[in-house]
Amino acid sequence: MTREYDFLVIGSGIAGLSYALKVADYGTVAVISKTELKETNTAYAQGGIASVMYQPDSFEKHIEDTLIAGDGECDLEAVKKVITDAPEQIKQLLSWGTSFDKNAEGDFDLHREGGHSEHRILHHKDNTGAEIQRALIQELRSHKSIDILEDHFAVDIITQHHLGKVTEPWMKDIICYGAYVLNKKEGSVETILAKTTMMATGGIGSVYQTTTNPLIATGDGIAMVFRAKGIIENMEFVQFHPTSLYNLSERPSFLITEAMRGYGGILRRIDGSEFMEDYDERGCLAPRDIVARAIDNELKLRGEEFVYLDVSHKPAEETKEHFPNIYKKCKSLGIDITKDMIPVVPAAHYLCGGIKVDLNGQSSINNLYATGECSSTGLHGANRLASNSLIEALVFANAAAKDALKSIEDIEINRKIPDWNDEGTSHPEEMILITQSNKEVQQIMSKYVGIVRSNIRLNRAYDRLEVIYRETESLFQNSKVSEKICHLRNKINVGYLIIKMARKRKESRGLHYTIDYPNKLPE
C-alpha cells in the first residue's frame, strides 16, 4: 500500500505534535506513532518547561546557565534562539489548552532546578509532560485534516538509495522521499511518500539497562538517519538522571524529579550522612552530571546499591501538594516521603546529541527535518540544563514548520519509489536470538559506556557490539520485518554511534567522563 502526504511526521511527542499542528492548515499531514499517541517521553516529563517569565530573571541569565551546563560545546545562536523564542512558544502551548500551576497572586508558580540561577520552570504539579501531551492530543484530534496512524512503525526513511543510487555521506544531495512504515496490526510494510518528513522519534534511554525513559525510546530516528547517511553528532553526551527510584522490578525506572532537590531535598548515604558538599560547593543543587557522578562514586566506594533523597524535614502537606504523583507512587511501595527517605539511583535519561540540524531544524538530508530529543540543535552542548528540552522541541518545531511552509509548493512527490521488498525472507524461528541480543546490548552499554568510562571499557564494548551487529544484520536480511528486530538493529546502531564518538574524544567534558582523560582539553 502506498500513501501520499505533504507532511509526514514520525513521532507523537511534543516535537512531532506541535510541528503537525503548525503545518496542518497548509497541506495534508500524517502523524505516525509506533504505539499509542500518548506513549512518549513527553508524557513522562515531571519537572517542567523552562522559560524566562518574570524579573529578576532575564534572557541573559538563562543563556548563561545553559552555556555553563553545555561546557563549551553549545552553539550560541541555537541557545539564544531557544531562550528568546521560549515565552512566545509557552503562549502557544497555553493557547492549545495546557495548564500550568499558578500562585495565590495569579502568577505562574515557577520552580528552580539544578544549574538554574533563577526560578523559571513552569510546571503542572509533578506531571507537566502528561498535561502537555493531553492538550496536544486534544488539539490534534480537532484537526480533521491530520491522519493519525497509531501502531505504525517507521522502519527506514526512503532516499535515492532505494532507487539504486548510491550517495556518499559527505555529499549534500541526499533527498528524503518519505518512509517505509510497518503497519503493526496488518503486518505489512507500507510506503508513505511525502514532500517533507519530520523526524521526531525522541530519545534512546532503552539502549541502557536502567532508564527513566519508556520502552519506546530506542533511538529509531537517529538509526534511520544514520543508515541513510545523514549527519549525526554529539552522541557521547548521554545524560544520566541522578535520582530515579531504586526498585529493581520496575522498567522504566520511576523518576524522582530534580525539582525535589530544588525544593530542599537532601542526598544522604545509607548511614544518613550528607555527601554532596564533598563534591561540589553547590551541594545538592549542583548540575545533574556532577550529582550523578558523585552518587556513582559513592555507590562504588561503599558497595551499596542506592543512596537516599530526603524531604522528610519539609512540611508534609506542602510536599504532598507539590509532588502528588511521587507521593502516591512511593506510598504504593510502602515509602511515605513525608517521613521516610527515598532510595534513589542514577539512570539513563536524555541524549544531548543526535541528528544534526540547522537553526531551521533542517537535517543534512534534503526535505528531512528533525526536532526534539532525536535532534542535535546545539542548544545543550555537552550537557543539558534541566527542563530545557521540552522548550527546545517547541521552538525548533516552530522554526521547522515555518521553513517547510516556504518550500512545500515547490517539492514534487517522487512516485518512482519501489515497494518494500521482502522476497525470500521468513519469520525468525527463534525469537530468543533477538531477545538475548537485546539484553546483551543493554548490558554492554550500561556496564561499559555509562556514567564513568575508560578506554578499555569502550574498546571492549565496541568489540562485543560488533559481533552482535554482524549477527543481527544477517538475521535482518533474512527476516520478515518485525518491530522487535528493528528495535534491536536500531539500538545497535545507536550504541555504536555513542561508543564511536566517546572513543574519539580524548578528554572529559560535560556528560562524557573517562578516567583515562579526566581533564578538559583547552577550548
- Which residues are known to be catalytic? 288
**Residue 211 C-beta: closest distance to ligand FAD, Å:** 8
Does residue 353 bind ligand FAD (CB under 6 A)? no
- Our finding on whether 44 is near ligand FAD (CB under 6 A) is yes
Cβ burial, residue 186 (10 Å; 0-12/13-18/19+)? exposed
Q: Which of residues 117-156 bind ligand FAD (CB under 6 A)?
A: 128-129, 153-154
Phi, psi of 213 (to 5 degrees): -80, 145
Q: Which residues bind ligand SIN (CB under 6 A)?
A: 46-47, 257-259, 350, 386-387, 389
| Residue with Cβ nearer ligand FAD (353 or 372) | 372
Are the C-beta atoms of 181 and 201 separated by less than 8 Å?
no
DSSP-assigned letters across all residues of 22-39 = HHGGGS-EEEE-SS-TT-
202 binds, among ligand FAD, ligand SIN, none (CB under 5 to 8 A by kind): ligand FAD
Contact call for residue 210 and ligand FAD (CB under 6 A) = no
Question: Exposed, middle or buried: residue 172 (CB in 10 Å: 0-12, 13-18, 19+)?
Answer: exposed
Contacting ligand FAD (CB under 6 A), which of 9, 20, 30, 41? 41
The distance of closest approach from Cβ of residue 245 to ligand SIN in the complex, given in angstroms and rounded to an integer, is 12
Residue 333 phi/psi, 5° resolution? -105, 10
Q: State how far the Cα of 397 lies from the Cα of 16, in Å rounded to an integer.
A: 7
Give the number of other CB atoms < 10 A from CB of residue 238.
Answer: 26
- Judged by CB, which is closer to ligand FAD: 355, or 449? 355
Alpha carbon 92 to its chain centroid, in Å, reads 22
Instruction: Quote the least distance from Cβ 150 to ligand SIN, whole Å.
Output: 26
Q: Which does 49 bind (CB under 5 to 8 A by kind): ligand SIN, ligand FAD, none?
A: ligand FAD
**Residue closer to ligand FAD, measured from CB, 278 or 473:** 473
* Cα dihedral 372/377/382/386 (nearest 10): -40
Which one, 129 or 230, has the nearer CB to ligand SIN?
129
AA letter at 148: I
What is the footprint of ligand FAD within residues 384-423 (CB under 6 A)?
387-390, 393
DSSP 8-state assignment for residue 134: H
Q: Which three cell numbers stand for residue 216?
A: 519506546
Instruction: Output the smallest distance, CB 262 to ligand SIN, in A.
Output: 9
Of residues 259 and 341, the one with the C-beta less far from ligand SIN: 259
Closest CA to 175 of 196, 154, 153: 196
Return the amino acid letter for 517.
Answer: Y
When the beta carbons of 40 and 367 are compared against ligand FAD, the nearer one is 40
Q: Which of the choices ligand SIN, ligand FAD, none does residue 41 contact, using the CB cut-off of 5 to 8 A by kind?
A: ligand FAD
Order the strands of the 342-351 sheet from edge to edge. Answer: 238-245, 342-351, 307-310, 266-268
Cα(152)–Cα(187) distance, integer angstroms:
10
Beta carbon nearer to ligand SIN, 158 or 386: 386
Least Å distance between CB 244 and ligand SIN?
10
Residue 12 site contact among ligand FAD, ligand SIN, none (CB < 5 to 8 Å, cut-off depends on kind)? ligand FAD
- Single out the segment in contact with ligand FAD by CB under 6 A; choices: 54-62, 99-107, 212-220, 285-293: 212-220
Q: How far is the CB of 309 from ligand SIN (least distance, A)?
A: 11
Residue 33 sits in the site that holds ligand FAD (CB under 6 A): yes
State the minimum distance, in angstroms, from the CB of residue 70 to ligand SIN. 14
CA 327/CA 430 separation, integer angstroms: 43
- Binding of ligand FAD at residue 16 (CB under 6 A)? yes
The x, y and z cell numbers of residue 278, run together, are: 564533598
